[in-house]
Amino acid sequence: MIPHAAFTIVSRNYLGQALTLRTSFLRLHDNVDFYIVLVDRKDRAPEPDVKPAQLLWAEDLPIPNYWRQCFKFDVIEWSTAVKPFCAMLLLQKYNKVLYLDPDFLFYRNADWLFVELDDCQAIITPHATTPIYDDYTQGDLEWMRVGTFNLGFIGLARGPETTRFLQWWGTRCLSDGYLETQRGLAYDQKWLTLAIGFFPGIRILYHRGINAASWNLHERYFQVGRDGLPELTDGTPLFFFHFSGFDPNRPDLIHARQKRWSTSNRPDTEPLMANYAEALLKHGFQDYSHFKYNNDLFSDGTPIPPLLRRVYALNYTGFMDDDPFMVGSDIFKYAIARRLAPAFAKPPKRATADDLAHHGMQIRLIDLTLRFVARIIGPYRYFNLMKYLAHISSIRHQHGVFTPDQR
């Protein structure tokens, strides 16, 4: 029996990345079973071109009230929330497992990561091993928001301590696995900041040749080694790179949502980016990226806006249907009654901080209104008002706005 496994979790639009990762990993690790876990819904998604033995569906995981839990989260939140449950399932069969984000590419055999798990329960990596001193995003303050450790990678070994950790982590992901940095939450990832204090069996790996990414390029420069493979300029071998935020149509950006680095000021990364872009296109990126996450829709095709998911989480015990995605469910009726189901067929693009530049007039109007409010209520009450607005910026705190008795 093969004792080790690796897995990644995706929706169908990310299958290009997942297949690229699988190819690069299995080329170097023929002694490891590799699984792709899909969070799409089976009965609405055509079977992907993946060997059945290598495919798992998230809906088959032992998660109580699966569809009710799924409805609370967007695709990224849910893809990360099911991670502990995938690990628990695989550890019933394998001695050790690695979770790998789908946008990894492997360059060298990394069996030594399994060896690291011989005398600990889990291995994780920090976002960076040295601080950043500049004013760009994705620096020290960003890690204060999203967590010290990057959970694009985690290794786990079977054992009672690991089981306790995964049960705790899974419970936290289902209750609070959201991206709500104003509340100190960032998917499944931020919980590891606490876990290292709760579970002594978790080991931090500081090796700079694993989980290299745009956020730690300030401490990692690359060259081609004597073996023709990428390595750091100090000779550290590069085992895998994390291409988070990468667009193969714009490989020069490195990460589409950061402005610190590009291949123009980091020419040493250009071969890495070009190679990964080519690999993605070879594995069907252009075709797969057009797929939509089918859990973004009710059963009749009505889009589910992110607001409605938070409202459902806020009033979770008030909506009783086993499958809230079905037309006629409690949350569907609520959405129609409160006009929370959009009339348009195509949801808008996910907003980011970069979009602020396109809303100058609206922002000036808000600023003017707040300036007026500050003059009216005074500095002390205004300060307290801002603290309250920060509190209710999490929709799950807006009990007085969205109540289940208004269905």
- Residue range 161-177, pLDDT digits in tens: 999 999 999 999 999 99
- Residue range 68-95, pLDDT digits in tens: 999 999 999 999 999 999 999 999 999 9
DSSP element (H, E) containing 12: none
Rounded to an integer, what distance in angstroms lies between the CA atom of residue 292 and that of residue 294? 6
Which whole-number Å values give the CA distances from 151 to 30, 67, 147, 190, in the listed order?
24, 24, 9, 9
Q: State yes or no: pLDDT of 324 exceeds 70.
A: yes
**Residue 370 region by backbone torsions, left for phi larger than 0, else alpha for psi between -120 and 50, else beta:** alpha
Measuring CA to CA, which residue among 71, 74, 54 is closest to residue 63? 71
CATH architecture for the domain at 4-287? Alpha-Beta Complex (3.90)
Cβ atoms of 35 and 90 within 8 Å: the answer is: yes
pLDDT value of position 349? 66
pLDDT value of position 328? 93
Exposure of 156 in the CB half-sphere (CA atoms within 13 A): 33
Rounded to an integer, what distance in angstroms lies between the CA atom of residue 247 and that of residue 277? 8
- Residue range 5-35, pLDDT digits in tens: 999 999 999 999 999 999 999 999 999 999 9
Q: State yes or no: pLDDT of 404 exceeds 90.
A: no
Q: Taking the domains of the chain in order of start, what are their residue ranges?
A: 4-287, 299-407
Rounded to an integer, what distance in angstroms lies between the CA atom of residue 219 and that of residue 207? 12
Across 128-137, 145-154, 382-391, least confident range:
128-137
227-243 mean pLDDT: 98
Averaged pLDDT score across all residues of the chain: 93
Q: State yes or no: pLDDT of 407 exceeds 50.
A: no
Burial classification of residue 226, based on how many CB atoms lie within 10 Å of its CB (0-12 exposed, 13-18 middle, 19 or more buried) = exposed
pLDDT value of position 44? 77
Rounded to an integer, what distance in angstroms lies between the CA atom of residue 326 and that of residue 354? 35
Question: Tokens 């195509």 appear where?
Answer: 346
